[in-house]
Chains A and B, each alone.
Chain A
Amino acid sequence: MFESKNKKVAIIGCSRLGATIANRLSLLEYPITVLDKEEGSFRKLSDTYSGYTFVADAESVKSLYEARVNEADIVIAVTDNDNVNIMVSEVCSRIFGVEKVLCRIYDSSKEPLCRQYQIHFIDTSKLSAMEFEKALGGFL
């Protein structure tokens, strides 16, 4: 999947997507930290999840330092808020110098801004639409 399993992964936002990625990478034995502002969100992590959890607001750069996100090799910004994901991605790639930063967005209209700052984004609405289209035989 990635080049090395020693790469430290920080997942920002224990959303449905964040938890799923965390659970899967944990099975592959990646060292992981999941950050979320609500403790309750971590219930989505499976029993086999063996990484860290960290309760903090990703909108505060200080919290990102406290969770040592600046030391991660891979950051995956998947909170439910596009703007928070974009901000986290910018801070991690342009200031922390994190090697690989991925950013989830729901709203396609944020794509130009992501391109402007060379943020590697994944537009999940567009991806879903494409899957639906495929399931319909490509006529949509």
Chain B
Amino acid sequence: MRTYRVVVVGGRKKADYIVSSLLKRKMSVTVINDTEDFCLEMSHKYPHAIVACGDGTKPFLYEDLHIENADIFIAMMPSDADNLVAAQMAKEQFSVQRVFCTVSNPGNVEMFKKLGIKNVISSTYIVSKMIEQLASIKEIDNYLPLENGKVAVLELKIEEDSKVSNKKLNQLTLPKESIIACIIRKTQTIIPNGDTVLMAYDKCVVVVNEKSKDEVIAYLTTGA
């Protein structure tokens, strides 16, 4: 099997976490960071990673580190402009296969996509949406927005008095454009079919879109 080559630029805790998980999967990892103490720490902690200290938007650094044709490039510097420039250089000048970048400013996500960087992640956006949803509806245990909130994965608890408990999934009139992808029952995880019976205290992992979200929440929490 060939080894995946991944380049991680910027980020501290996030970079550290990603690097450790990539190394566990036997990938070849190159880290670029402009903070010297962080680079020292990383090179001690991960002797198998290549660690370079410098400005992650300089093409000569990419050349020295031979990142051309790498499989994955992840830019997560604090500045959005730095991430855009790094991601575009990796993609256009160094022919990296898949390029990811984070943005601090949620409003920039769409722009970056229009400028050719398809994988843009705004942790500010994801976390704030999550908190907003968790705070507004008590039955939601978890919330993960995807595609800028157009689609979301929700975790909903079925209450004891819910009208949907003790019913087979094919008896439910779940709103269109939604699907119960998984049921978590105590320690069990069930990928359900139409014959699976929903029980009180089950947690349902539901995939919804913008249109069906509120209806799904209302239906599964009250049975209305």
Contacts and interface: CB of A to CB of B under 8 A. Distances in A.
A83 B84 CA distance: 8
Interface string B91-111: 011000000000001011001
B79 interface: yes
21 contacts: A61-B105, A61-B108, A61-B111, A83-B79, A86-B81, A86-B84, A86-B85, A87-B80, A87-B85, A91-B111, A91-B115, A94-B114, A109-B58, A109-B59, A109-B60, A110-B59, A113-B59, A113-B85, A116-B88, A116-B93, A117-B88
A83 B82 contact: yes
A7 interface: no
B84 to A, nearest CB: 5
A94 B143 CA distance: 34
A81 interface: yes
B88 A113 contact: yes
Contacts of A86: 81, 84-85
B199 interface: no
B12 to A, nearest CB: 20
A38 to B, nearest CB: 16
Given A91-B115, A94-B114, A113 B81 contact: no
Contacts of A81: 79, 81
B197 interface: no
Contacts of B92: 113, 116
Interface of A: 59-62, 81-84, 86-88, 90-91, 94-95, 107, 109-110, 112-113, 116-117
A109 B114 CA distance: 24
Nearest to B88: A113
Nearest to B89: A113
A84 B78 CA distance: 13
Given A83-B57, A113-B85, 17 more contacts: A60-B105, A61-B107, A81-B81, A82-B85, A83-B81, A83-B84, A83-B85, A84-B79, A86-B85, A87-B84, A90-B115, A91-B115, A95-B115, A107-B58, A109-B58, A113-B92, A113-B93
